Structure 1
Amino acid sequence: MFNLIDNTLVFASYGNIFGLSNITISPMDIVLAYLVAILISIIVAFALKIPLLPSKPYRYSFDVSAIYPTPIISMGVFSIFLVLNYTFMYNGLVLAVIIGILSALFVKYLFDFVFPKPLNEDERDEINE
């Protein structure tokens, strides 16, 4: 995993392997943009009234929360843009804000449609009968 992060930092900061990028970004700018994406996604999730933690028991809960999967989705989408060498404006900070907002909206309104919750044992028995 850390090798993937290291490769992302190297490719995004020095241009891609084909030399198509004419803008270089420092690794600190990339880390700052990741932090902005994470913080914005959590703040917008709170504004949309997504709970901080899932319901108990945490281990078997499939409820969405502000801590998981909201920042994970924003980091993943932002990584895709960095690997594609698209940072938009201000070294990726504006893109990080946009992705943070969109990831919180995705988790609030579309996450259950894209990734449905598994059926519990009672619902499985009713379907099998």
Structure 2
Amino acid sequence: MFDLMGSTIFFASYGNVFGLSNVAISSFDILAAYVVAVIVSVIVALLLRLPLLPGKPYRYSFDVSAVYPTPIIAVGVLSIFIVLNYTFMYNGLLLAVVIGILSALFVKYLFDFVFPKPLSEDNGEDIDE
């Protein structure tokens, strides 16, 4: 009868919590913001000396790298802001740069604390190669 979740998202994006919502943002601006977030997050991750690719074997590696999960986190956080219609300045490009920097810093310094590596099956300790 009532679509509470849909109504909540609609009103949060329509009025915005801080009243700073944009009138309209085009799909090109959204795509440009995603590309900027991915590029900035990878560049900052490489500057922070994260490896470009995780350790081998790639499929079972729990190592963080500049390619995964850094841009994935940046795109996810940027998506939350875009859905809430909070794009800040320059149609979301400045927000994309800030989120790209913060996601690289998060992956470098906090990712292992928030998402610890799984325990090995043999001796119950963390998996380290």
TM-score category of the 2 structures, normalised to the smaller one: 0.7 to 0.9
Letter in 1 for 2:29: D
Contact 2:22 2:86 in 1 (8 A): no
Identity of aligned residues (%): 72
The C-alpha deviation readout for 1:52-110, integer Å capped at 9, x for no partner, is 11101111100001000000000000000011110000000000000000000000000
Task: Tell me which amino acid in the other structure corresponds to 1:55.
Answer: G
- The answer on 1:87 being equivalent to 2:87 is yes
Aligned-partner Cα distance in 2 for 1:105–1:17: 32
Q: Which residue of 2 aligns with 1:37?
A: 37
Distance 2:102 2:22 in 1: 28
Give the structure-2-normalised TM-score.
0.80
Select the structure that is richer in helix: 1
* Aligned amino acid, residue 81 of structure 1: F
* AA in 2 matched with 1:56: K
Task: Structure 2: give runs of 5+ residues left out of the alignment.
Answer: 1-8, 16-20
Residues 112 and 22 (structure 1 numbering): CA distance in 2 closer, same or farther, change over 3 Å? closer
**Aligned pair count?**
110
Give how far 1:17 is off: 3.6
The CA deviation at 1:22 is 4.7
- Opposite residue 90 of structure 1, the aligned amino acid is Y
